[in-house]
């Protein structure tokens, strides 16, 4: 098959100009009234900010108009995003420093709480943005894109047909510079249908059949990497054979990638896709043994490499595995609590983070971004803006 090698590229920052001003008052602000750090050359300020923890930067943005001005400049925020480490986003809009998981000084930062009452499920994550699906008690459905760091969200149109058993994917095309939401409708014996929404245009397009079966796929959200969405699917010709279904966000075409091991025995084998150290990864479980594989040369079957192998600690823990740390720990959810499994001692312990709720329904690895939703949706009107609480 054709190899897909694309990377999310941002426009380079122009280090010879200051960030845009938000209003006339800020343009007239005297140079000597700005904080000393903001009087430094732009490239030096960027270097400094890239070394500051994300939670501290979020708090800095609230200090004054000068600080908000810096964090509203599109080119600066894109440069910052490209050099920001991943954090853990937890239901209720809490942000946790992944590199300090387990540290007594690690404190969760609550971003905004106005959405906590909504029963939202994340169906995709891309470039610091989250795509939420919300099914209310009055049986109305909603789709939202949010940036939990800038406290913005807007609504997307809902497809007209029913969505029982749907798979979603949220991705970015670095060629066209657009974001797209993909929905694959799977209704058992009926052929699957693929619909695509380009963010900012407001119209769902039916692009036909994927050529693969997504029936009873788990998990149902696509994994985004370098302009491509990935799901575990099945061959239409041989439903017992599972594979990686690949959707190119730019061309809107499906291809396939092989799994690292045979998947003929569906009852005893479990696969979960993810991203590990920038590589496409697969967690493979058969009986009581869990193996973690990474594809080091994208698209090449022979490049699948086993990174870890361990005994299953608890029944459901593997299905919610989120992160493998440098300290030899596996992070995941078990009974709606954040837990860590230590490979060396094969022990499972609860991870304590000050400020984090005791009950967690969902958690995602997320690279925080200060890029505004206005920069990705063009002239799309926001349904509402959520302010920081």
Integer Rg of the chain from CA: 22
Beta strand 289-295 pairing with 279-286: antiparallel
pLDDT of 112 reads 66
pLDDT of 28 reads 42
Q: Which residues pair with 314 in a beta bridge?
A: none
pLDDT tens sequence across 48-62: 888 888 888 888 877
Burial zone of 381 (CB within 10 Å; 0-12 exposed, 13-18 middle, 19+ buried): exposed
360 in Cβ contact with 337 (< 8 Å): yes
Residue spans of beta strands (DSSP E) within 62-161: 87-90, 94-97, 109-110, 120-126, 129-135, 141-147, 152-156
Q: Is the dihedral of CA 207, 9, 293, 323 positive or negative?
A: negative
- Measured between alpha carbons, how far is 249 from 8 in angstroms, rounded to an integer? 12
Q: What phi and psi, each to the nearest 5 degrees, are found at residue 37?
A: -60, -30
Cβ contacts of residue 71 below 8 Å, gap of 6+? 57, 60, 61, 77, 370
Q: Which residue has the tokens 């119209």?
A: 203
- Measured between alpha carbons, how far is 89 from 335 in angstroms, rounded to an integer? 18
pLDDT of 377 reads 66
pLDDT of 354 reads 87
- Cis before 219 (ω within 30): yes
Cβ neighbour number for residue 53 with a 10 Å cutoff: 15
pLDDT of 253 reads 95
Q: Please list the helix, strand and coil fractions of the chain in percent, rounded to the nearest 5, in that order.
A: 15, 40, 50
pLDDT tens sequence across 66-110: 787 888 787 788 888 888 888 888 887 888 887 777 676 678 888
> pLDDT means per 10 residues in the chain (389 residues)?
42 44 44 70 84 82 78 82 86 81 75 58 90 70 85 83 76 94 77 87 89 76 93 79 91 92 60 87 81 91 88 63 72 83 77 85 86 71 40
Q: Which residue has the tokens 């479990």?
A: 270
CATH fold of 87-375: Neuraminidase (2.120.10)
DSSP 2-49: ---------PPP-TTSPPPPSSHHHHT--GGGS-GGGGS-HHHHHHHH
pLDDT of 304 reads 94
pLDDT of 382 reads 41
Give me the residue spans of the domains in the chain: 24-83, 87-375
| pTM score, whole prediction | 0.82
pLDDT of 164 reads 59
């Amino acid at each position: 098959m054709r190899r897909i090698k694309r990377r999310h590229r941002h426009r380079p920052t122009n280090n010879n100009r200051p960030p845009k001003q938000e209003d006339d008052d800020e343009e007239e602000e005297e140079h000597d009234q700005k904080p000393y750090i903001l009087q430094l050359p732009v490239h030096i300020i960027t270097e400094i900010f890239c070394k500051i923890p994300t939670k501290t930067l979020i708090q800095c943005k609230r200090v004054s108009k000068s600080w908000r001005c810096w964090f509203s400049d599109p080119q600066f925020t894109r440069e910052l995003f490209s050099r920001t480490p991943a954090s853990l986003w937890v239901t209720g809009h809490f942000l946790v420093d992944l590199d300090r998981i387990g540290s007594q000084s690690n404190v969760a930062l609550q971003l905004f709480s106005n959405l906590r009452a909504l029963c939202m499920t994340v169906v995709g994550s891309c470039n610091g943005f989250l795509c939420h699906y919300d099914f209310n008690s009055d049986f109305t459905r909603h789709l939202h894109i949010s940036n939990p760091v800038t406290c913005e969200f807007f609504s997307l149109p809902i497809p007209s047909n029913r969505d029982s058993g749907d798979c979603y994917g949220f991705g970015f095309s670095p060629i066209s510079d657009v974001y797209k939401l993909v929905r694959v409708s799977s209704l058992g014996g009926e052929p699957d249908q693929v619909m695509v929404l380009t963010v900012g245009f407001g119209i769902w397009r039916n692009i036909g059949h994927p050529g693969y079966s997504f029936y009873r796929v788990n998990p149902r959200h696509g994994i985004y990497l370098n302009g491509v969405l990935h799901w575990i699917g099945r061959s239409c010709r041989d439903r017992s054979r599972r594979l990686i279904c690949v959707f190119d966000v730019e061309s809107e075409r499906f291809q396939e990638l092989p799994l690292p091991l045979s998947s003929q025995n569906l009852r005893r084998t479990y696969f979960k896709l993810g991203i590990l150290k920038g590589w496409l990864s697969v967690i493979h479980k058969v009986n009581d043994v869990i193996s973690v594989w990474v594809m080091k040369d994208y698209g090449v079957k022979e490049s699948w490499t086993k990174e870890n192998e361990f005994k299953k600690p608890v029944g459901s823990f593997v299905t919610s595995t989120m992160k493998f740390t440098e300290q030899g720990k596996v992070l995941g959810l078990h009974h709606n609590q954040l837990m860590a499994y230590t490979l060396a001692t094969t022990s499972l312990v609860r991870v304590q983070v000050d400020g984090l709720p005791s009950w967690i329904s969902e958690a995602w690895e997320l690279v925080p971004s200060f890029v505004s939703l206005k920069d990705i949706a063009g002239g799309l009107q926001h349904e509402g803006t959520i302010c920081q609480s």
